[in-house]
Chains A and B, each alone.
Chain A
Amino acid sequence: DIQMTQSSSSFSVSLGDRVTITCKASEDIYNRLAWYQQKPGNAPSLLISGASSLETGVPSRFSGSGSGKDYALSITSLQTEDVATYYCQQYWSTPRTFGGGTRLEIK
């Protein structure tokens, strides 16, 4: 199974900050990488697929980048509604696997 590692389990950030969340795969996943946002009590919501393709309706302050094994989700100018847990997920191979999640908190 491909292991997905998110380097930080939590971040304490200020409103308006730029935030970058990283995700590393245990092998090349050829950009088959999705990012999800999950707020407490809700199902995850897809933000990005294909490493960098923003889903319709997702604010443009979100962006994805990376290749090979290393990927990142960036949020420019953090808003209150962005406080959530973010997960990366690879879909290059089965089983699909998720990172452990990165929780954003406001300072």
Chain B
Amino acid sequence: QGQMQQSGAELVKPGASVKLSCKTSGFTFSSIYISWLKQKPGQSLEWIAWIYAGTGGSRYNQKFTGKAQLTVDTSSSTAYMQFSSLTIEDSAIYYCARDTSGYFAYWGQGTLVTVSA
């Protein structure tokens, strides 16, 4: 049974960057797609981007192009998302999820990012 374990909560200042991690287990990492999603408190979900762990190829929601950058480390079966030039509007819970042809059967527990001066 696959699992996805995300890094802990972050408190960051406006204008800063943050790098979130998502360590997977129980999957053949090089064969999976991983998506990242955003959920602001009390709101629905937004899909940010996916990355194919085998090649590092990725595709982004145009809304997050230039804001988010996805990478993977196959040696540790870990995916990363760097989020830059943070504003208060970026305060949210960020999830990683295994992307199976576009839907998400496995999710991390989420990482709360709070942007505050």
Contact = CB atoms under 8 A, between A and B. Distances in A.
B95 A97 contact: no
Contact of B45 (A44, A55, A92): A44
A95 interface: yes
B107 A99 contact: no
Given A44-B45, A44-B104, A49-B103, 8 more contacts: A46-B105, A87-B44, A89-B103, A95-B47, A95-B61, A96-B102, A98-B47, A101-B44
A46 B103 contact: yes
A100 B59 CA distance: 23
A49 B59 CA distance: 22
Nearest to A4: B44
Nearest to B35: A96
Interface range on chain B (Cβ under 8 Å from partner): 20 to 34
Contacts of A32: 102
Contacts of B46: 98
Given A95-B62, A95-B63, A34 B44 contact: no
Contact of B108 (A36, A43, A46): A43
Contacts of A12: none
A84 to B, nearest CB: 14
A36 B45 CA distance: 11
A43 B44 contact: no
Interface in A21-54: 32, 34, 36, 42-46, 49
A44 B100 CA distance: 15
B101 interface: yes
B44 A91 contact: no
B90 to A, nearest CB: 17
Given A98-B45, A99-B44, A43 B63 contact: no
